[in-house]
Amino acid sequence: MFEDYSLNMFLRQFWRDERLSFVGKHNKSLNLNSMRQRLWTPDLYFINEKAGNFHTVTTPNLLLRLDPDGSIMFSQNYVGSEMLV
């Protein structure tokens, strides 16, 4: 028996790229939303996904933050339909 369900969630991914580390005198972290297309991000997928998209109602709904040690937080609003097997 298969069941479908839908979800609306904030998807947060964390990873570290030491090549992006920096010494910040006044900044504890940097907002990199404008650099999104130039930055590597994980290729995430959902098994048994029927449909899905990321919110871009008026502007892309995302947050991309870089900490001095190269830690990155990438947060997006995701809406999808999945199949429960």
Q: Which residues, 6+ apart, have CB-to-CB distance to 59 below 8 Å?
A: none
pLDDT the model gives residue 72: 92
Q: Which domains, and CATH codes, for the chain?
A: 3-84 (2.70.170.10)
pLDDT tens-digit readout, 59-68: 667 888 888 8
Q: Helix or strand or coil: residue 85?
A: coil
Q: Helix or strand or coil: residue 37?
A: helix
Single-letter amino acid, residue 52 = G
- Report the predicted TM-score, pTM, of the whole model to 2 decimal places: 0.66
pLDDT tens-digit readout, 23-47: 877 667 777 777 777 888 887 776 6
Higher pLDDT: 18 or 5? It is 18
